[in-house]
Each structure stands twice: as structure tokens, then as C-alpha cells.
A = this chain, B = another copy of it.
Amino acid sequence: MGRAEPLARNEAGIATAVASLKQLFEDRLQTGRSIREQHGHTTTWLENQPPDAVAFPETTEEVAEIVRICAAHKVPVIAFGVGSSLEGHVNAPAGGISVDFSRMNRILAVHPEDLDVVVQPGVTREDLNVHLRDKGLFFPIDPGANASLGGMAATRASGTNAVRYGTMKDNILALEAVMPDGTIIRTAQRAKKTSAGYDLTRLLVGSEGTLGLITEITLRLQGIPEAISAARCSFPSLDAACQAAMMTIQYGIPVARMELMDRLAVRAVNLHSKLDLHEEPLLLLEFHGSDAGVAEQAESFGAISEDVGGSGFEWTTSTEERNRLWKARHDFYWASLELRPGSTAVATDACVPISRLAECVTRAAAKAEELGILSPVVGHVGDGNFHMSPLIDRDDPVQLEKAEAYIDWLANLAISMDGTCTGEHGVGQGKKSFLTTEIGAALPYMKAIKAALDPDNIMNPGKVLPD
């Protein structure tokens, strides 16, 4: 369990801060073991390191008050959205206060004419999209889980349609944040673009709560497209599937989603969902645009696929048929677990230049087989990002060790291909050690920024930056 080592605790400070906060927050400060454990890491294989207390603020001013108290006593502060992060981001290796944003879940202002919305960090992406639907608008970033928008901002999340709409860094106009000294700042106003000073918005996005707590987010929105089409095609090899994906991007087809599943992933959904897909690499696509546009785009993809040996090409604009075509992808997570009943899927998140993708996925699948690890693949292939999902029994130390070795090997493979060990999951505790290889010369400057803004290292200590 090397990825989640405990850190030294400031027992006296923690006791004082918890007592002060209890007075202020009363039953909105919880210290029961079960709730504390729910606020440590609960996903994947990393150890659970619960905080000492969980606070439920309702306003930015209350968040600032928590930070000021923790700053005064040098006590860790850890932001918590819904806890769906995968790399131990919410763990409390030195103890401290978890700040649960679930009560800061108001949509503060929708500006349809400006295509933006101002939300509190506890709003989830599904709640936001339900709220926006009757205005003809939507927020496109979809990491799979119904994550909180604050958490998605803090981890620089993306997901299936980043290929068209970008990641969280591309879809945030401005933030309000509580800085490590308890000061409330705004990083920008609401204009679509600005060149007014250092980009604190992008510095906080992806900083995983180590530089400040995000208390308000101004997000860019999109109009719900007039039409959506979906397409699906099988390929004789991963290489052919990746070729089709590359050509689709290069031809400028504005694909909204483009997901890859490997043979094993297809087999898993065939078994789980009683489908009869060819057990070959599969691409699933979605297009957004006008009626004529989405038809043209799907057909252009069909022509590309045919050129590289694709088969079983189908496309549709009907909602029901779209759901049928995409069922394989939607059912993947549960289907994959059934490949090995009782197993846990370990998260990996390699992202490489798309020209290297076929080779990277092929080698990753071969290595898993060599180690005897069952590991289906899904990928956001337009971005060169894919997730091997090694299925292991967490209680078996031999398997844990193998999985850890595999994750290390894969991270280093991606880095050696000019890619990253973490395309969209963030660093947390799990990926810290790889940053030295990936961007080592830049780390002292990241550490200098951290030290300048948070000299007592109270904001989510033990995350992002390796020692």
C-alpha cells in the first residue's frame, strides 16, 4: 500500500480545530467513524485514510471560516465532492478536516444568452443538465460518474466527449476560491476570454484542492444540438480501429464521442448484456449537429471505416436505436466485473499522442496477458486516452502486487511514448511518483508555487507533488 502512506499528524492542532469547528457548525461537523471513512478513499485499491472530522458548509463564508481555523492551527483541509475520484484525492494521510460540499449545491445563475452558468461546487453534472434541459442547453463534460462539478474542476476531469468539447480546463470561465489563508478570491469575470493577468483559473483547475478550495464555478454551456447520430463499427485489429479514429479526426469530422473497446471488453458485454457483437475491436461514435450534418458525419465515418477493413457498420439518429448501438459501452463497467466475479477494477489512465495509441494499447494488452491479469480496455480514442481495467481480488496480496507492477509499467510506457500517466484522473496519491519521470524539471517550480500559496502545507497535503 505504498501509494497512500500516512503522514505526521498535528494532534494538538487537530483537536483544537475540531473543537472550534464543532462550536460553529454543531451537527454540521461530524466525527463518527463511518462518515469519516466514507470521506476517505473508497474507490479502487488505495487504502482508506479517513479525516478526523467532516464539515458541511453551506456558504463560501463558512468555507473561509473553516480554512481560517485550520490555517491558525496548521490542520489539513481536504475538499470532498461525491468521492468518485480514483487516485486517493480525498484521503487524509495526515488527518484533518474534510470539507463536504454537498450542501453547496445551488445553481446560482443561468445566462442562456451568454451560454454560461454559475454553480456552487456541490452541484453534480447530472443535476446541472436536468436543470438546463428545458432551456435548450447542456454542459458537455461527462466523466462517467455523476461527479460534482467542483471535484471535476479540481481534478481537471474530462471523459467521453472531450474530443469535441475539451476538458474542464476548456469549459470554465471563472472561479471563486478560498485560498490557504482563508481569503476569498475571484479569478476572472464572466467574459468569454481574457488576457488580464496570470491564469489562476487554470492553475486552480487540476490542483486537486492543494492550492485553494473552489467555492463557485462559472461554466461554459452548449446549445443542445438539433440532431444527434450514433454509429458503431467493428475492426479486424486495434491498429485498424485506431487508424479509423485518426483519420476521422484528421478529416475534421467534428465527432462528439469516439470510444474504443477491445476484444475482451466486447466479450464482456456480449456475456453480460446478451449481445452478439463480433468479438473484435469496436468503435462507438456520436455526432452532434444539424439533421443533415450528423447524417453526413456518420456516413463519412462509415466510408473511412470501410477503407481500413471495418465491418458491421451501423448508424442511426433515433434515440432508441442510439441507445441500442451504445449499450455495449454503457454496460461495460458492470460487464467487465463479471469477467471475474468478486473482483475490483483497478483504474489506469494512460494518454498518448494518437499516432502511438494502437501500439500502446496493443502492448498494454499483451503485458496484462503475460502477467496473467484479466484486463479489458476502453478508450477515449480521439484523445489518445485509454483505460486498462485490471480485475483483481483486493484481498490477495500477490494480485495487488502484480496490479501495482502493471500500473507502474503502463504509466512508464505512456510517458516513454511522449504521453502522460494520467490523462483525466489526476494525480492524487496514486500517480505522484510518476511525475518525476514525466515532468521532473518542472516540479521544483510547482513546489515553489505550492510553498508560496500554502506555506504551512495545509491544503490537501500528500497529494499531487512527490516529495
Contact = CB atoms under 8 A, between A and B. Distances in A.
Contacts of A251: 223, 226
A198 B199 CA distance: 12
B189 A199 contact: no
Contacts of A200: 442, 445-446
A350 to B, nearest CB: 9
A124 to B, nearest CB: 19
B250 A422 contact: no
A195 to B, nearest CB: 4
Contact of A452 (B415, B422, B451): B451
Interface in A203-219: 203, 205-207, 211
Contacts of A196: 420-422, 427, 431, 434-435, 438-439
A191 interface: yes
A167 interface: yes
- Copies of the polypeptide in the assembly: 2
Interface string A173-201: 00000010001111111111111111110
Contacts of A425: 195
A197 B434 CA distance: 11
A8 interface: no
B423 A113 contact: no
A147 to B, nearest CB: 13
B116 A353 contact: yes
A252 B223 CA distance: 6
Interface in A254-302: 254, 288-290, 292-293, 296, 300
Interface stretch (A44-52, A151-159, A317-325): A151-159
A197 B113 contact: no
Contact of A351 (B194, B422, B427): B194
Contacts of A290: 293, 296, 300
Given A420-B191, A448-B452, A111 B198 contact: no
CB-CB nearest 9 A-B residue pairs: A202-B202, A452-B452, A223-B252, A113-B355, A194-B420, A156-B195, A191-B351, A190-B418, A191-B419
